[in-house]
Amino acid sequence: MTEITTQILENIDLRGLGMNHLAYLREGEMDGMKGFIICAADGSILGFAPGRTKAIAAIMQNDMELVSLQ
């Protein structure tokens, strides 16, 4: 199995497990402003918030679950 095939299968598996309802935060910068980048389980960027509290609120308002990465 090639790396590309493996990646596609992993993404399909994640969606099947409900991973499209999970999000995580990472500190970052967008347009020169420091804050928190909101990421989907697959790593794609969903949004940005200037503070952690606002980022968590945005996740909850969109019926997503905040997860912690180790």
pLDDT at 47: 95
> Per the structure block, which two tokens stand in for 17?
């497990």
Phi, psi of 16 (to 5 degrees): -65, -25
Alpha-carbon distance of 70 to 66, in angstroms, equals: 13
Cα of first residue to Cα of last residue in the chain, in angstroms, is: 28
pLDDT at 4: 46
pLDDT digits (tens, 9 = 90+) for 2-59: 444 444 445 555 555 556 788 999 999 999 999 999 998 888 899 999 999 999 999 9
Q: Is the pLDDT of residue 63 over 50?
A: yes
pLDDT at 45: 93
What is the pTM for the complete model shown? 0.72
> By the 8 A CB rule, do 5 and 12 touch?
no
